Amino acid sequence: MTMTTTPPSTTQEDYLETILRLSAEHPAGAQVNELATALHVKPPSVVEMISRLCAMELVTHAPRERVQLTARGLQAAQDVYARHTVLRQFFTDILRVTPAIAERDACKVEHILHPETMARLRDFLEHAAADELERDHTIPLTLLHKGDCGVLQRIAGGHNKTARLAAMGVRIGSEILVLHNNSGAPVMLKVGNARVAIGRGLATALHIAVPDAHG
């Protein structure tokens, strides 16, 4: 029982991530040889590690077959991958490191950071992106006045909002006209030929480029 609930070690996480990456090439999973090449280790070490991952119910592997991720293994691999993405973005966008180095360092650092550090890093990137946009002369929707029009440039924060808004016709590049914007009430927009009301919390996340904003 304790075996299965221990979180995977650094090396194990590397294995899971690599199996996920290799699965993209082949639906049935990764081969031991491919794993050995990708991770720069000898096949017998791979076999040993795979049997340990099998015991943890993170992968399934029959002799001579490909290694496949279990549902839990997939979850763990996706977690690692998500951390990797955030770190890489931090290295390239904020520290201006070259992509190759960012990739290399992200692979190392992704295993050791505390979840809270990761969460702070995510927040930081979100705010940094918002700050950068303010320098690009965009204004949060809530600061526009009735009758103002502009183009939606960016939606800060959670991506599921982006897809939700897109389905209603509000997407990056949409021309919008503010119909009503009174404090305490949702913002009403005209997009295309439709009127859409957006709660104030969500409206602050919409960054609008207004023509001649500084004219």
Partner 1 sequence: MRVALVGNPNCGKTSLFNNLTGAHQQVGNWPGVTVERKSGAFCHAGHDYEIVDLPGTYSLSSYSLEEDVVERYLTREPPDVLINIVDASNLERHLFLTAQIIELGVPLILVLNMMDEAGRHGVQINTAALGALLGVAVVPIIARRNRGTPALLRALDGLARTPRVGQVHIDYGTPCAAALQRISAAIAPAAAPIAARMRAVFVLLGRPVCVADAALQPLAAAQRALIERAMHDTLENYCAGRWYGFANGCVRSCVTHTHQARFDLTEKLDDYLTHPVLGLLIFSGCMWLVFALVFTISAPCTTLIEWLLAQLGALVTHVIPAGLLRDMVVDGILAGVGGVLMFLPNIVLLFLAIGFLEDSGYMARAAFVMDGIMHRLGLHGKSFIPMLVGFGCTVPAIMATRMLDSKRDRILTALIVPFMSCSARLPVYALFIGAFFAPRWQATVLLSMYLLGILIAIIAANILGRLLYRKDFTPLLMELPPYRLPTGRSVLLLMWMRAWMYLRKAGTLLLCAALVMWFLCTFPRVTGADGEAHAGIAHSYAGMFGRAIAPALRPLGFDWKIGVGLATGLVAKEAVVSTLLIVYGVGDGHEHGTAVLQQRLRADAAFAHGPLTAYTLMVFVLLYVPCLATVAVFLREFKWGWTLFMVGYTTGTAWLVAWLVRHVGLLLGL
Letters for 12-51 (x = contact with partner 1 by CB under 8 A, - = none) are --------xxxxxxxx-x----------------------
Check residue 107 for interaction with partner 1 (CB under 8 A).
no
- Cα distance from N-terminal residue to C-terminal residue, the chain: 67
Residue with tokens 């390239």: 92
Please tell me the total number of residues recorded for the chain in this structure. 215
Per CB under 8 A, the segment of 40-48, 113-121, 163-171, 207-215 that binds partner 1 is: 163-171
Q: How far is the CB of 25 from partner 1 (least distance, A)?
A: 8
Check residue 60 for interaction with partner 1 (CB under 8 A).
no
Interacting positions 140-159 with partner 1 (CB under 8 A): 159
Q: How far is the CB of 1 from partner 1 (least distance, A)?
A: 25
Among 43, 44, 147, 192, binds partner 1 (CB under 8 A): 192
The structure tokens listed for 199 are 């709660």
> Of 79 and 150, which has the nearer Cβ to partner 1?
79
Check residue 161 for interaction with partner 1 (CB under 8 A).
yes
CB atoms within 10 A of CB 85: 12
- Using a CB cutoff of 8 Å and minimum separation of 24, what contacts does 64-69 make? 65/28, 65/29, 66/26, 66/28, 66/29, 66/30, 66/31, 67/19, 67/29, 67/30, 67/31, 67/32, 67/35, 68/19, 68/23, 68/28, 68/29, 69/16, 69/19, 69/20, 69/23, 69/29
Q: How far apart are CA 51 and CA 57, in angstroms?
A: 10
Q: How far apart are CA 40 and CA 74, in angstroms?
A: 22
Check residue 57 for interaction with partner 1 (CB under 8 A).
no
Interacting positions 77-96 with partner 1 (CB under 8 A): 77-78, 81, 85
Check residue 2 for interaction with partner 1 (CB under 8 A).
no
Binding site residues, partner 1, CB under 8 A? 20-27, 29, 68-69, 71, 74, 77-78, 81, 85, 159-169, 171, 179-180, 182, 184-186, 188, 191-199, 201-202
